[in-house]
Structure 1
Amino acid sequence: MTTRDSRTEAQGYSDQVQDPHRSLHSETGALPGEHPGRSGNPLVKVAGLAWVEFEKPDLDQAERFATDFGFAVADRTPETLLLRGRWASSACLVIRRGPQPRFAGAVFQAAARDDLDRLARGTGGTVMAHWGGHAVRLRDPSGFPVHVVYGVPELPALPGRAPLPLNFGAEPVRANATQRPARHPAEIQRLGHVVLGTTRFRAALDWYLDTLGLIVSDFLYLDGHRDRGPAMAFIRCDLGSVPADHHTLAMLLQPRTEYVHSAYQLTDLDEVAASGEYLRERGYRHAWGLGRHIQGSQIFDYWRDPDRLMFEHYADGDVFDSLAEPGWAPLSRSGLAQWGPRATAEFTGTSDPRVVVAAIKALRDKGNEIDMPALRGLIKAMSS
């Protein structure tokens, strides 16, 4: 005889089989005919995000913030500042001297040297020597520079602290020892992801999937407008059976095309929190945190540099292999975190008066995806 509890358990198992997203990473999966979240025949499949590039007029100021935020200086010339994390890799942040602060593009790591030739043939680009390796320079449909590199020498690993031992439940691992994490600059391990806003979301999304072989982990749509397709995507590298970060790139539809933030991995929660206290004491502008995201699950804390560019410390993010299909959920301000303070206007950008000007300009431009229903949907999402 089947009991009520066993029937409930069986139904729960059945629901999970029919809809793995319910207990995995999103509310639902795709509906019939929705975007599949991957290309059927991409030109290449990049292996990761190598570094991000900026231009700034004051490299001394940039270096002060960078070292306070947790980067180590890999090299410094009068015109270029190379910043790195603790793990063995290339420099993860490149800042060149320029007339005004601006994002200058993302650089992806090719899986093989032949992929650069394939990219060049498929895009009309050229393979050129670059920092001891080779690169192809591209531009996405939003206008952002995108480089793909191979063979750039790695910097050796630097010493870094291990995660703190934590006492859980009945089996403590730390006896006769206190926990006193130091309040000092973070020890950034590596670059995790970059987030970009665009008025041409669908064209840019398909370009990254078709050209670089990235695949979608999660889609967010405007509530009440799912039939319009997604308005945000969290996109990861396709490494086959090897788990990859939940997102290497995230993109969202918005009234202006811009860099939103880049994120850098720390050892654990204490490192995120203690280094945040250090930044606060140094007078830097806090944007949002601490909290834990829903899409990606990472513990986060967001800060702005002296030029108001946003950078994220994070720890404990999700990783998926290529079998995980995209989840779908409505975009909302309250849906950005599992716990933590409400997302601030400083983080969402809604306090910036330039948003209104950008929205008017985007509505007049017929070559993008911003129309009145989309604008209303975005306003609703950021206030819900």
Structure 2
Amino acid sequence: MAVGKQIRLTRLAFVIYEHPSIDTFAAFAEDFGFVEAGPASKQGERFYRGYGVDPYVYVAREAPEKRFVGAGFVAESAEDFRRASQLEGAKTLDTSDRPGGGEAISLTDPNKFTVVIVWDQEPRSTPEHGVSALKGRPAMNGALDKRRKGDFTRMKHGPAMVHKLGHFGYITPNFEDTCAWYQGRFNFVPTDMLHAPGNTSLDVAVFFRLDQGQAFVDHHCFLIARGDTAKTSVHHSSFEVEDIDTQFMGHQWLKQKGHDLVWGIGRHVHGSQIFDYWYDPSRFIIEHYADGDVVNEDTETLHAEAGNMAVWGPPVPAIWGAKAEESDHPKPLSGISG
């Protein structure tokens, strides 16, 4: 498909996972900061939302084995949705019992993952400000600039409430084909390209955003990394929270509830976001992030060597390039995350 014929998408909306115990995941989801978005579907799917415009940001299904199913995106216009529905293999989905209604079709990418395109969903109303653990949202005092005068900083204990799905990523041996499939059909453009250490001719990761012209969008909504595994696997899914205080309070809450930390809290290089990665009960990796970069069409694509994953934070975990390896997680070349 020629670039001029790309189907335009506005944003990433949701991810779909299957879990051996949907009830066990439901308890984790509450601790993570999701809110159940309504009754389960006729097929038993459970929907979880943040406090943003999307009717749901996470779809959970129960199945004998854990599995990442795919992700959903919002079409920019009725015409874009119509053209998506005419792509080879497109299937119409029943949305009558899904929060927000609307229309949806599903496609299958080269790695057999599902790509859902939605249109005409009923958006949620959103709060005037992001939901913060910081009570009253007082200003921060600097060393010389004391802006919080007579006000105390106090925190709310509890989960870090999720705003939206920010991004997800794949590790794949089909790096070139996967990139070509998504870029050829949709308006994905690279914000950052990473090459193998010492080899500028070998790209090993790309951080894709959805082109919205002059409008500013997240640094990336989709990460594709070259892997040395036999098949493509999901790397992680990442959900936005309001600020660093909310992130730390959420970190503390998840730790107190006995959930397993992967890596965090730290700040990434590519995208600049503050990260905090956790295992869900099925051992998928799920992230809270805050303070990520936003870019537009004037932002040049940057090229850098892979391996520089964090500005500050704890040591990189074994699954992302440290000495020991865990067999149940794929490792991207030279350690890549986002």
Q: TM-score, normalised by structure 2?
A: 0.88
Task: Give the residue type in structure 2 aligned to 1:100.
Answer: E
- Equivalent position to 2:57, from 70, 81, 92: 92
The aligned counterpart of 1:77 is 40
Counterparts in 2 of 1:309-320, with a 5 A limit? 309-320=284-295
Residue 12 of structure 2 is aligned to residue 56 of structure 1: no
Equivalent residue of 1:231, what SS? strand
Q: Which residue of 2 aligns with 1:160?
A: 131
Instruction: Tell whether the 8 Å contact from 1:42 to 1:213 is kept in structure 2 after alignment.
Output: no
SS for the counterpart of 2:81 is helix
Partners of 2:220 and 2:273 lie apart in 1 by 11
Mapped to 1, the partners of 2:188 and 2:207 lie a distance apart of: 10
**Per-residue CA distance 1:26-81 (angstroms, 9 max, x = gap):** xxxxxxxxxxxxx7334212100011111113121111000101111112438121
CA distance in 1, matches of 2:20, 2:264: 29
Report the secondary structure of 1:280's partner residue.
helix
Q: Is the 8 A contact 1:232 1:251 kept in 2?
A: yes
CA positional deviation for 1:129: 4.8
Query: Where does residue 118 of structure 1 map in the other structure?
Result: 83
Structure 1 distance, partners of 2:6, 2:335, is: 36
Q: How does 1:243-254 map to 2 (within 5 A)?
A: 243-254=216-227
Shift of 1:343: 1.2
Q: Give the deviation of 1:270 after TM superposition.
A: 0.7
Which of the numbers 239, 243, 252 marks the counterpart of 1:277?
252
* Deviations 1:295-348, CA, capped at 9 Å, x for gaps: 00001111111111111111100011012121111111xx00111122111455
How many residues are treated as equivalent by the alignment? 321
CA contact (8 A) 2:8 2:76 kept: yes
- Measure the CA separation in 2 of the matches of 1:164 and 1:269: 14
**Separation in structure 2 between the aligned mates of residue 314 and residue 208 of structure 1, nearest angstrom:** 24
The separation in 2 between residues aligned to 1:351 and 1:170, in whole angstroms, is 46
1:123-138 matches, within 5 Å, as 123-130=88-95, 131=98, 132-138=101-107
Give the equivalent residue in structure 2 for 1:15: none
For structure 1, list consecutive stretches of 5 or more residues without a partner in the other structure.
1-38, 360-374
Structure 2 spans left out of the alignment, 5+ residues: none
After superposition, the Cα gap between the structure-2 partners of 1:124 and 1:82, relative to the gap in structure 1 and judged at 3 Å, is closer
The match for 2:178 is 204
Instruction: State the shift of 1:352 in Å.
Output: 1.8
Letter in 2 for 1:152: Q
Q: Which residue of 113, 116, 122 maps to 1:144?
A: 113
On the 8 A contact 1:108/1:149 being kept in 2, the answer is yes
Deviations 1:210-245 (A, max 9, x none): 1111110001111122223x1100000101100010
1:177 to 134, 151, 172: 151
Q: For the residues of structure 1 that align with 2:73 and 2:14, how far apart are their CA atoms?
A: 7
For 1:240, the aligned partner's letter is: G
Matched, 1:331 2:300: no
Q: Contact (CA 8 Å) 1:187, 1:266: kept in 2 or not? A: yes
State yes or no: 1:223 paired with 2:192. no
Structure 1 segments (4+ residues) deviating >6 Å: none
Whether contact under 8 Å (1:44, 1:115) holds in the other structure is yes
Task: Give the % identical residues.
Answer: 30
- The 1:74/1:139 distance shift into structure 2, 3 A limit, reads same
* TM-score normalised according to structure 1 size: 0.78
Write the letter of the residue equivalent to 2:220.
H
Return the structure number with greater strand share. 2
Return the letter of the residue paired with 2:262: A
Q: Deviations over 1:324-379 (max 9, x none)?
A: 121111111xx001111221114559622256xx89xxxxxxxxxxxxxxx9xx3x
Please state if 1:260 is matched with 2:235. yes
Name the Cα RMSD after superposition.
Answer: 2.3
Q: Which has the higher helix share?
A: 1
1:43 touches 1:118 (CA, 8 Å); kept in 2? no
* Distance change in 2, residues 1:149/1:346 (3 Å): same
Residues in 2 aligned to 1:336 and 1:155: alpha-carbon distance in whole angstroms: 35
